[in-house]
Structure 1
Amino acid sequence: MSASSAARRLTAVALVTGSVVAAAALPASAVQNRAPDRQQVVISDVQYNAPGPDTRSNRSLNGEWVDITNRSRQSVDLKGWTLRNSKGDRYTFRHLRLNGHSTVKVHTGSGRDTRHDVYQDRRGHIWDNRSDRATLSDRRGSVVDTESWGRGRDHDRGDDRGHDRDRDRDRGHDRDRDRDRDRGHGRGRGHDRGDERGHDRGRDRDRGDERGNDRGNDRGNHQR
C-alpha cells in the first residue's frame, strides 16, 4: 500500500468519525425541531347563547364565549390570529402564547386579559343564537378551524335541492299528462279514420249495387 493511499483512507475514517461525534453531540431540542410540526389549535366549545336574557350588560356579554384549545404539546403564539362570525365581525388576538394542552376562553364583553381568558371589549352580543359560524384563522389569514350551529348553508342547499326535485317531479307529471293527452287524441283520430273508411266502403258498395241494377235493366231491354 502506498503512502498516499493510506493517507486517503485515514482522512475518510476521520471524516466519518467526526460526523458521528457531531450528531451525538447535538442537543435533544435540535433533534425535536427537525420533527414535523403537529400543532393542533381548534375551536373546542362555543357558548353562543348567554345564560339568562340578553340585556347587553357586561355580565351577559361575558356569558357568551368561544374556547380555543391547543391540543399539541408545544406552545403556539396566537398574536395576529383572528376569530370572526359569519357576518365578518372579528376579534384579533394580541400578545398571547397558548401553552400546550391549554385552553383560552374568548369572552364577548370587557375584562382583563389573562392566559386563560381574553375579552373582545364589545358592547353587544356577537354570536347569533339561531344560526352562526365561528371561524379561527392564523396570522396569514388561513382558516385553522370552524364551528357552525343552527340552520347553516348546507341546510339551505338541501332545501334548494328539495325544491329542485319538486319542480322536476311536477315537470314529469306534466309530461305524463301530455303523453296521455296525445295518446287519447291519437286513438280518437284512429277511430275517425276507421269511421271514414267504413263510410267509403259503404259508398263503394252502394255504387256497386247501382251498377248491378243498371246491367240488369240493360239485359231486360235486349231480351224484349
Structure 2
Amino acid sequence: MRLIPLAIAAAVAATTLTATPAFAAAPAVQIVKVYYDSPGSDRRSNSSLNGEYVVIQNTTRKAIVLEGWQVRDKTGYTYEFGPDVILGAKKRITLRSGSGGDGTSTVYWGRKQYVWNNDKDTAYVRKPDGKLVDSCSYNSTRYDDKNCL
C-alpha cells in the first residue's frame, strides 16, 4: 500500500514541475507601423515628408513620459522626444518626418529630408539611457506601410 501513495506523489510532482514555455512580454513602448514611402513623387515638400511616419504605442496601463526617448533609423537619424510628450496608457503617437504643430497624438521630426528608406530600413525605439526597447525592420520592394505587430 505504501507504493501507491509514492507513485501518485511522484506523478503529481512530475506534472507540477513540468515547465511551460515562457513568452516574452511586450515592450512598454512598441513600434506599431512604419510608413516608409509617402504617396506621390518624392519632392521633399512638407506634406510629402509628413507622409512618412512611425507609430508607437504604450502597451502598459500607465502613462509614460517620453522625455529623452529616441526613435532612430538604421543610418542613425535620431528624433528625441521633448519633456512635454506623455504617451497615455494603451495610447499611440505618430512621429511624422516633416514639420507641424506637435499635439498629444502626433509629433513632428522637423526634417527637410526623408528618413525611412523605400527599400529597407530598421526603426528603433530607445530609452533615455540608450537601452533598446523595440525595433521593426522591413525589406520590401512594395512601397506601402510596414505593420510591425
Measured against the shorter chain, the TM-score band is 0.7 to 0.9
List aligned pairs for 1:1-224, cutoff 5 A: 40-95=28-83, 96-150=85-139
Compute the displacement of 1:39 (Å).
6.6
Residues 70 and 80, structure 2, Cα contact 8 Å, conserved in 1: yes
Q: Deviations over 1:63-83 (max 9, x none)?
A: 000001001110001000011
Percent of paired sites with the same residue: 37
Q: 1 or 2, which has the higher helix percentage? A: 1
Moved over 3 A (4+): none
Gaps in structure 2 of 5+ consecutive residues? 1-25, 141-149
Q: Which residue of 2 aligns with 1:12?
A: none
**Partner secondary structure for residue 48 of structure 2:** helix
What is the CA–CA distance in structure 2 between the aligned matches of 1:39 and 1:83, rounded to whole Å? 15
**Partner secondary structure for residue 101 of structure 2:** coil
Q: 1 or 2, which has the higher strand percentage? A: 2
Residues 78 and 97, structure 1, Cα contact 8 Å, conserved in 2: yes
Amino acid at match of 2:108: Y
What is the CA–CA distance in structure 2 between the aligned matches of 1:115 and 1:102, rounded to whole Å? 10
Amino acid at match of 1:56: R
What is the CA–CA distance in structure 1 between the aligned matches of 2:121 and 2:109, rounded to whole Å? 18
Amino acid at match of 1:148: S
Q: Which structure ranks higher in relative contact order (CA pairs < 8 Å, sequence separation ≥ 6)?
A: 2
What is the CA–CA distance in structure 2 between the aligned matches of 1:120 and 1:39, rounded to whole Å? 23
TM-score w.r.t. the length of structure 1 is 0.49
**Partner secondary structure for residue 122 of structure 1:** coil
Amino acid at match of 1:130: D
Residues 39 and 74, structure 1, Cα contact 8 Å, conserved in 2: no
TM-score w.r.t. the length of structure 2 is 0.74
Residues 27 and 133, structure 2, Cα contact 8 Å, conserved in 1: no
Task: State the superposition RMSD in angstroms.
Answer: 1.3
What is the CA–CA distance in structure 2 between the aligned matches of 1:39 and 1:98, rounded to whole Å? 14
Amino acid at match of 2:66: L
What is the CA–CA distance in structure 2 between the aligned matches of 1:70 and 1:83, rounded to whole Å? 14
Gaps in structure 1 of 5+ consecutive residues? 1-37, 152-224
Residues 27 and 134, structure 2, Cα contact 8 Å, conserved in 1: no
